[in-house]
Structure 1
Amino acid sequence: MVVLVSRIDAALRRSGLLLPSLPTGSRLAPAVRSGQLIFVSGYSSSIVGKLGAGVSIEAGAEAAREAMLACLAEARWLIGDLDRIVRVVKLLGFINCTPDFLDHPAVLDGATDLLLEIFGRDKGWHARSAVGSPSLDQGAAVEVEAIFEIAQDATIQPQ
């Protein structure tokens, strides 16, 4: 039996990355499709704390990367294969931080760098916003949500 590995899954493996298991039982839709776009709900990192009060920019960037991996896991579950992503459209990152913290973009670079690494510049280059927040769910350092454009023939899992 021949097992085909998607180009994106191969890129993740080369980078030593694994997509996490997804939580179950949510009252909200973890991702939805509208036309050729999929909107992935926000995913938090397991890294907790505040940027500007004990969590370094490097740890924050790692938290953003971890949250982005969860978004990708959700996208893969919904469309079956990350190769069906035509383009990363937009990221929105929430940074749990002190009021005087000013390096929000540097933190969200962790998610952006991951997307550029696995999708390349043509598909991975995206619009984004990084917003400071006084708190996040369970004290997470970062939460990321994403919008992806998918191939016209892509099918999705029933929800």
Structure 2
Amino acid sequence: MTSQSTPAARLEALGLTLPTPAAPVANYVPWTRAGNLVFVSGQLPIGAGGAIDAAHKGKLGAGVALEAGQGAARIAALNVLAQAAAAAGGDLSKLRCLRLGGFINSAGDFGQLPQVLNGASDLVATVLGENGRHARFAVGVAQLPLDAAVEVDATFEVLG
């Protein structure tokens, strides 16, 4: 095995660590498990300081650039992975991503929704390797909590 053969090693190679899973901000749980399936609630691009960077707030196509949206999606996906890891006993190698969903806070005429969500998809695929290949959806919405540019949710299978 190479040093980058595990999800933890791939995260480290990217210079990333899983954040502490965020507590819910309303009446829901951050994840729920049914058998081997884990459903992760929508995660925002909340950074290490516990806040959303100003570059990751607002509407894509109306003040937020594509690259900033991709960065927001990447941070939100890292938060999704943290929740999924918690559901799998802390072990990312036990996870297979089945579906990733993205809500993009966007102007009505913004058409690059799939490209924004690539920030999340690319991270999940890189960290989980073959187990990170997933189905997905990306939809534009009029507003998101805390004026976040992106919100990401996912469904995982816990292996073994």
Q: TM-score range by the shorter chain?
A: 0.7 to 0.9
Is the contact between residue 92 and residue 128 of structure 2 (CA under 8 Å) also seen in structure 1?
A: no
> Following the alignment from structure 1 to structure 2, what is the Cα–Cα distance between the partners of residues 15 and 35?
31
Tell me whether 124-133 or 73-82 shows the greater mean CA deviation: 73-82
SS in 2 for 1:144: strand
Match of 2:159 in 1: 151
> Following the alignment from structure 2 to structure 1, what is the Cα–Cα distance between the partners of residues 24 and 105?
25
Q: TM-score, normalised by structure 2?
A: 0.86
Q: Could you list the per-position Cα deviations for residues 21-68 of structure 1 after superposition, in whole angstroms to 9, with x for gaps in the alignment?
A: 223365311101112110000001122111001111111011000000
- The equivalent position to 1:100 in structure 2, one of 65, 87, 109, is 109
Q: TM-score, normalised by structure 1?
A: 0.86
Match of 1:155 in 2: none
SS in 1 for 2:110: coil
- The equivalent position to 2:128 in structure 1, one of 119, 123, 126, is 119
Over the aligned positions, Cα root-mean-square deviation in angstroms equals 1.4
SS in 2 for 1:24: coil
- The equivalent position to 1:135 in structure 2, one of 143, 147, 153, is 143
Q: How does 1:1-159 map to 2 (within 5 A)?
A: 7-24=6-23, 26=25, 27-45=27-45, 46=52, 47-80=56-89, 81-85=91-95, 87-120=96-129, 122-152=130-160
Between the aligned residues of both structures, percent identity stands at 47
Unaligned runs of 5+ in 1: 1-5, 153-159
Q: Could you list the per-position Cα deviations for residues 63-86 of structure 1 after superposition, in whole angstroms to 9, with x for gaps in the alignment?
A: 00000000111111121211111x
Is the contact between residue 22 and residue 79 of structure 2 (CA under 8 Å) also seen in structure 1?
A: no
Count, aligned residues: 145
Unaligned runs of 5+ in 2: 46-51
Is the contact between residue 102 and residue 151 of structure 2 (CA under 8 Å) also seen in structure 1?
A: yes
Tell me whether 23-32 or 92-101 shows the greater mean CA deviation: 23-32
SS in 1 for 2:15: coil
> Following the alignment from structure 1 to structure 2, what is the Cα–Cα distance between the partners of residues 59 and 70?
17
| Structure number with larger C-alpha Rg | 1
SS in 1 for 2:57: coil
